[in-house]
């Protein structure tokens, strides 16, 4: 493999690769224009600008966002509220921000879908304020040639007009696997790398190769590197197109290929694809930003919809994974200095046991209504005692497939004991890496420690599988690690027999597994664990897995 | 003011696309000089041409709402109400949360 010097690492946000000139964009720089005369004038101008962008937007998603923003900017009550504030003596810019802020707060209090609109309302307040202050909204660079857009972070309205013929790829320093940039890049089909620290300073003005599949950016790539990555991508595409149906190794060892899903919309669209089920359904969608706990009926309806869409296929629900860093107001969690180490996941059930019981009851009722048998697991399980208590409650609610997420190192070390009376384990590699390597998931500066190829993490996976196997229970992986085809083969070699990933990764993972036999996976796992670091681990398995 | 009740047919409630479509209709009427309101029976109604006010009601699937229209003597309020209520009664498959 060609030695790469100076590659920047980030999170693989959208697959594919491209070579182009990088242009760093700092959206704080706005253009000075004639200020709007008053609140009504500002509203008219902002609405016109947003409608123009909506009509010119390059993706259906962007159009929808912009049209909604235009509607907010035109809202007669918002404008009336701002006007009243101006009449009472407030500065026009402050008045529109305050008026928008009030509506945003109201929406936040309603939770769910409505709360998600709150930042958009605030964004409109900012646009109106800028308009009144004589600042025009910043536009993307137009250097006169196609380029790679590099920025600290990107907001929805910034990227709405992004034309994939002009912007070849996106690299941001912030963001993660589910951030807006990631979603947009995938919708447009352009490669993207996020959480790429130092990108703006180091890449501005030079040619780069953006490897969205691996999450790497190579400054000044050699012809050899470009060719090598091109070959790799070509093989992956061809392989992904060929293999269908249930996942298995070349010698027929079954490995279930499942999807990670977080919304009802995703559940519906994923159900229509070639995947064996949902390995992780994040139930937070019903709880985030809510000032009151969702009613049993609402929960039952949502879970039943997911189960109905998947029929006989496996669906694994994860119980509420809340923490002081996630907005779940009705739980009443206090603020914590270290939310990652605080009352989160299953631990919240000690404070509010009835919330967990209601959720478990809802799963059971949804199962009854649809005639299915969902799998249910709890997040952040740390000890066998916790696991036993959870198991007892879940079974008391009528659930039959009960398991836990293994994402705390103590749980990996004690997996056998934890699974004594439970049915399955699912490893959350993202959080397991965070806790095992003592590196904050939100901090770009320590991102290298969170690399799922870290041999120490692989050791914990092996331990978990061994502990579970000792009890005759299956182990799956539902973290980002499962989406990397070569790492997936290593995981299979470590004993993992189900992999749950974002839907876009399914074809590539299934395709690669179909080309290697179990013996090769075992050998790859050995080599990866023997390495002293993630890069060495990748290099070691490369000859075996291609 | 002419008032009529309607059931919210949209499976996600009066949010997202369904709200947008309803408010767009109400806005047209409002621009023609009519006053259009919406609210839960017995509660204070809001300006139906204001998307933020309508979203702020947090109206869910199956709920009953009252739609009100007021114009001058020449206004065919019943026909405007027909359109508005018809819009609320369609279950458009809107985006999930």
pLDDT digits (tens, 9 = 90+) for A444-468: 677 788 889 999 999 999 999 999 9
CB contact under 8 A, B12 and A113: yes
Distances (CA, A) of A155 to A28, A47, A161: 12, 18, 12
Q: Is the pTM of this model over 0.90?
A: no
Q: Is residue A187's pLDDT more than 80?
A: no
Q: Which helix (H) or strand (E) holds B20?
A: helix B16-31
Q: What is the mean pLDDT of residues A420-435?
A: 95
> Confidence band (pLDDT; 50, 70, 90) for A179?
low
- Percent of chain A surpassing pLDDT 90: 62
What tokens appear for A206 in the block? 């030079």
Nearest to B58 among A114, A265, A286 (CB): A114
Q: Which of A46-50, A96-100, A233-237, A469-473 has the lowest mean pLDDT?
A: A233-237
Q: What is the mean pLDDT of residues A16-26?
A: 93
Q: In what order do the strands lie in the sheet with A167-172?
A: A8-9, A216-219, A207-211, A17-25, A147-151, A167-172, A192-194, A11-14
Residue A1: per-residue pLDDT: 41
Distances (CA, A) of A159 to A24, A118, A163, A425: 14, 19, 9, 40
Q: What is the mean pLDDT of residues A330-344?
A: 83
Exposure letters A268-300 (e unless 16+ CB within 10 A, then b): bebbeeebbbbbbbbbebbbbbbeebbeeeebb
Q: What is the mean pLDDT of residues A415-422?
A: 96
Report how far residue A304's alpha carbon sits from residue A75's, in angstroms, rounded to the nearest whole number: 36
Q: What is the pLDDT of residues A250-289, one digit of tens each?
A: 999 999 999 999 888 788 888 888 999 999 999 987 787 6
- Percent of chain B surpassing pLDDT 70: 92
CB contact under 8 A, A71 and B12: no
Collapsing DSSP states into helix, strand and coil, what is residue A523? helix
Judge whether A541 and A512 are in contact, CB under 8 Å: no
Beta carbons within 10 angstroms of residue B12's beta carbon: 23
Nearest to A106 among B16, B27, B56 (CB): B56
Report how far residue A8's alpha carbon sits from residue A218's, in angstroms, rounded to the nearest whole number: 6
Judge whether A277 and A501 are in contact, CB under 8 Å: no
Q: Which of residues 64-93 of B touch A (CB under 8 A)?
A: none
Residue A14: per-residue pLDDT: 87
> Confidence band (pLDDT; 50, 70, 90) for A82?
very high
Q: Is residue A3's pLDDT more than 70?
A: no
Q: What is the mean pLDDT of residues B63-82?
A: 89
- The interface pTM score, or ipTM, of the predicted complex is 0.90
Minimal Cα–Cα distance from B52 to chain A, Å? 7
Nearest to B53 among A77, A113, A266 (CB): A77
Residue A480: per-residue pLDDT: 80
Report how far residue A157's alpha carbon sits from residue A134's, in angstroms, rounded to the nearest whole number: 19
Beta carbons within 10 angstroms of residue B81's beta carbon: 19
Select from B2, B14, B12 the least CA-distant residue to B87. B14
Q: Is residue A5's pLDDT more than 60?
A: no
Report how far residue B96's alpha carbon sits from residue A223's, in angstroms, rounded to the nearest whole number: 46
What tokens appear for A256 in the block? 């279930």
Report how far residue A238's alpha carbon sits from residue B3's, in angstroms, rounded to the nearest whole number: 62
What tokens appear for B95 in the block? 């985006």
CB contact under 8 A, A263 and B96: yes
Q: What is the mean pLDDT of residues A427-439?
A: 93
CB contact under 8 A, B97 and A75: no
Residue A327: per-residue pLDDT: 66
Report how far residue A341's alpha carbon sits from residue A440's, in angstroms, rounded to the nearest whole number: 11
Report how far residue A509's alpha carbon sits from residue A489's, in angstroms, rounded to the nearest whole number: 8
Length of chain B: 97
Q: Is residue B94's pLDDT more than 50?
A: no
The DSSP annotation for A26-76 comes to: -TT--EE-PPPSSHHHHHHHHHHHHHHHHHH-SSHHHHHHHHHHHHHHT-H
Q: Is A543 exposed, middle or buried (0-12, 13-18, 19+ CB in 10 A)?
A: exposed
Q: What is the mean pLDDT of residues A112-121?
A: 79
- Strand B64-70 to strand B46-47: parallel, antiparallel, or no bridges (unpaired)? unpaired
From chain B, the residues in CB contact with A119 under 8 A are none
Judge whether A3 and A105 are in contact, CB under 8 Å: no
Distances (CA, A) of A460 to A16, A403, A453, A483, A523: 31, 18, 12, 18, 17
Q: Which of A94-108, A127-141, A323-337 has the lowest mean pLDDT?
A: A323-337
Residue B97: per-residue pLDDT: 29
Check if B54 contacts A (Cβ < 8 Å): no
Length of chain A: 546
CB contact under 8 A, A113 and B97: yes
Q: What is the mean pLDDT of residues B51-72?
A: 90
Report how far residue A212's alpha carbon sits from residue A11's, in angstroms, rounded to the nearest whole number: 8
The DSSP annotation for A397-415 comes to: TT-SEEEEEE-SHHHHHTH
Report how far residue B54's alpha carbon sits from residue A409's, in angstroms, rounded to the nearest whole number: 48
Residue A232: per-residue pLDDT: 86
């Amino acid at each position: 493999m060609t030695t790469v010097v100076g590659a920047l690492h980030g999170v693989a946000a959208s697959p594919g690769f491209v070579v182009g000139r990088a242009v760093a964009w700092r959206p704080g720089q706005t253009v000075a224009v004639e200020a709007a005369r008053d609140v009504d004038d500002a509203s008219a101008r902002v609405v016109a600008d947003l409608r123009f962008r909506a009509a010119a937007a390059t993706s259906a998603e962007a159009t929808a966002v912009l049209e909604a923003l235009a509607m907010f900017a035109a809202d007669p009550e918002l404008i009336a509220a701002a006007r009243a504030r101006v009449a009472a003596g407030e500065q026009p810019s402050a008045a529109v921000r305050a008026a928008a802020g009030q509506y945003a707060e109201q929406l936040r209090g309603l939770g769910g879908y409505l709360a998600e609109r709150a930042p958009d309302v605030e964004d409109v307040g900012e646009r109106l304020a800028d308009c009144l202050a004589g600042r025009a909204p910043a536009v993307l660079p137009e250097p006169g040639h196609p380029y790679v857009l590099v920025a600290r972070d990107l907001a929805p309205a910034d990227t709405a007009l992004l034309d994939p013929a002009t912007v070849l790829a996106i690299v941001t320093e912030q963001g993660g696997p589910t951030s807006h940039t990631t979603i947009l890049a995938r919708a447009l089909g352009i490669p993207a790398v996020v959480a790429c620290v130092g990108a703006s300073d180091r890449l501005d003005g030079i040619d780069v190769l953006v490897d969205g599949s691996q999450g790497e950016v190579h400054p000044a790539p050699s012809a050899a590197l470009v060719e090598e990555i091109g070959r790799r991508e070509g093989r992956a595409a061809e392989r992904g197109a060929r293999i269908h149906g249930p996942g298995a190794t070349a010698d027929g060892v079954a490995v279930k290929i499942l999807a990670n899903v977080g919304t009802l919309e995703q559940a519906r669209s994923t159900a229509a694809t070639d995947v064996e089920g949902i390995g992780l359904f994040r139930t937070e969608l019903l709880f985030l930003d809510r000032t009151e706990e969702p009613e049993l009926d609402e929960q039952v309806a949502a879970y039943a919809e997911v189960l109905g869409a998947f029929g006989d296929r496996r669906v694994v629900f994860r119980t509420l994974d809340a923490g002081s860093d996630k907005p779940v107001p009705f739980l009443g969690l206090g603020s914590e200095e270290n939310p990652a180490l605080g009352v989160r996941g299953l631990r919240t059930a000690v404070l509010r046991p009835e919330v967990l019981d209601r959720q478990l009851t809802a799963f059971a009722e949804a199962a009854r209504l649809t005639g299915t048998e969902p799998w249910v697991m709890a997040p952040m399980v740390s000890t066998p005692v916790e696991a036993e208590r959870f198991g007892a409650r879940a079974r008391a609610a009528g659930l039959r497939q009960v398991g836990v997420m293994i994402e705390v190192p103590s749980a990996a070390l004690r997996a056998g004991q934890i699974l004594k009376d439970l049915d399955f384990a699912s490893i959350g590699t993202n959080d397991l890496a965070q806790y095992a390597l003592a590196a904050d998931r939100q901090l770009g500066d320590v991102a290298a420690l969170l690399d799922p190829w870290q041999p120490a993490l692989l050791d914990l996976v092996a331990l978990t599988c061994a502990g579970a196997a000792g009890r005759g229970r299956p182990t799956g992986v539902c973290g980002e690690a499962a989406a990397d085809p070569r790492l997936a083969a290593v995981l299979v070699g470590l004993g993992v027999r189900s992999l749950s990933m974002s839907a876009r990764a399914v074809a590539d993972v299934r395709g690669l597994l179909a080309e290697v036999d179990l013996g090769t996976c075992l050998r790859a796992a050995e080599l990866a664990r023997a390495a002293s670091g993630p890069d060495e681990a990748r290099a070691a398995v490369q000859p075996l897995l291609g | 003011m002419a008032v009529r009740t309607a059931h919210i047919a949209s499976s996600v409630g009066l949010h997202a696309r369904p709200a947008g479509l309803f408010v767009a209709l109400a806005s047209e009427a409002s621009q023609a000089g009519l006053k259009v309101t919406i609210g839960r029976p017995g509660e204070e109604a809001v300006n139906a041409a204001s998307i933020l006010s309508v979203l702020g009601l947090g109206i869910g699937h199956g709920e009953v709402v009252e739609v009100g229209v007021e114009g001058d003597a020449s206004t065919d309020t019943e026909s405007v109400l027909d359109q508005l209520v018809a819009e609320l009664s369609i279950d458009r498959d809107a985006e999930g949360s």
